[in-house]
Amino acid sequence: MCLAGCFDRTRRYGLQRLVERSGCIEVYRGKRKPYSESEAPGMPIPLQFGFYAILTDPVLGYERCTKILVDTGVAFVQLRIKGKAPSDILPIALMMRKTTLGGNTRLIINDSPDIAWACGADGVHLGQDDMRYDDARRIVGPEAIIGLSTHSLQQTENACSLAPDYIGVGPVFPTPTKATPDPVIGIDGMKTMLAAATVPAAAIGGIDLTNLRRVLDAGAKNFCMVRQFTQSRTPEKVIDELRRVYGEYYPGVW
């Protein structure tokens, strides 16, 4: 059976073999329960969880940064690697899965339901041009988290109609993390989209410690950060400062 033209038996077998050769077979969770349309999919996500970390080429490495996030109780860590083969991404995903097991930090794989399935991640995040939600759900199974990116009010409404586990709202500010950036929505656009969201939502796009208070002042309960954390040689200090600023608005949440 082929799902969205990419996840046939051959690809699944190839990913399984990569997992076996990695020596991380103990975290492999490939044989998920088959998805039934009658089941309520997804994993309960709180409306407020605070910081959602995204790792892309962290200067101190994926393993150390993932461990810092787990040790500090960050709710989510997403692995986002663009332009690499699955055989290059899967070993990193497996290492991150092993690091996050037993903790409160949920591992999300960007763009790739097949890699999320193969490494036993908690879920997958899909962009507007990625696989359809229903096709991804069939791959990752009913218990996995699926998040969706949204860049306009219409996309927010459309995404929420699918009942994903959460959505991303942005980019709030200009960001160089995408080769073809989406139009900036600004603080006002963020407020409008957050107000329309019927599932947990996280603000994303160019957010760092210089503008985080503006995002929180506008009512955001959850936020993503990429560059300031991943490019820091002292990411623990970045986490400490994020926690301090967030605590000014929402004491005791994180």
Say what the alpha-carbon torsion angle 146, 152, 154, 156 is, to the nearest 10 degrees: 30
What CATH number does the domain containing 90 carry? Answer: 3.20.20.70
Structure tokens at 37: 């349309």
pLDDT score of 76: 98
Would residue 192 count as lying in a domain? Answer: yes
Specify whether the CB–CB gap between 177 and 227 falls below 8 A: yes
Domain enclosing residue 159, as ranges: 50-249
Residuewise pLDDT in 10s, the chain (254 residues): 444 445 555 555 566 666 655 555 444 444 333 334 444 456 679 999 999 999 999 999 999 999 999 999 999 999 999 999 999 999 999 999 999 999 999 999 999 999 999 999 999 999 999 999 999 999 999 999 999 999 999 999 999 999 999 999 999 999 987 777 899 999 999 999 999 999 999 999 999 999 999 999 999 999 999 999 999 999 999 999 999 999 999 999 98
> Residue 70 and residue 76: Cα distance in Å, rounded?
9
Would residue 161 count as lying in a domain? Answer: yes
Would residue 223 count as lying in a domain? Answer: yes
- 106-156 pLDDT, tens digit each: 999 999 999 999 999 999 999 999 999 999 999 999 999 999 999 999 999
pLDDT score of 195: 98
Would residue 179 count as lying in a domain? Answer: yes
> Residue 124 and residue 147: Cα distance in Å, rounded?
6
Would residue 23 count as lying in a domain? Answer: no
> Residue 38 and residue 16: Cα distance in Å, rounded?
28
Three-state SS across the chain? CCCCCCCCHHHHHHHHHHHHHHCCHHHCCCCCCCCCCCCCCCCCCCCCCEEEEEECCCCCCHHHHHHHHHHCCCCEEEECCCCCCHHHHHHHHHHHHHHHCCCCCEEEEECCHHHHHHHCCCEEEECCCCCCHHHHHHHHCCCCEEEEEECCHHHHHHHHHCCCCEEEECCCCCCCCCCCCCCCCHHHHHHHHHHHCCCCEEECCCCCCCCHHHHHHCCCCEEEECHHHHCCCCHHHHHHHHHHHHHHHCCCCC
Would residue 16 count as lying in a domain? Answer: no
> Residue 210 and residue 196: Cα distance in Å, rounded?
26
- Looking at the structure of the chain, the number of domains it has is 1
Would residue 224 count as lying in a domain? Answer: yes
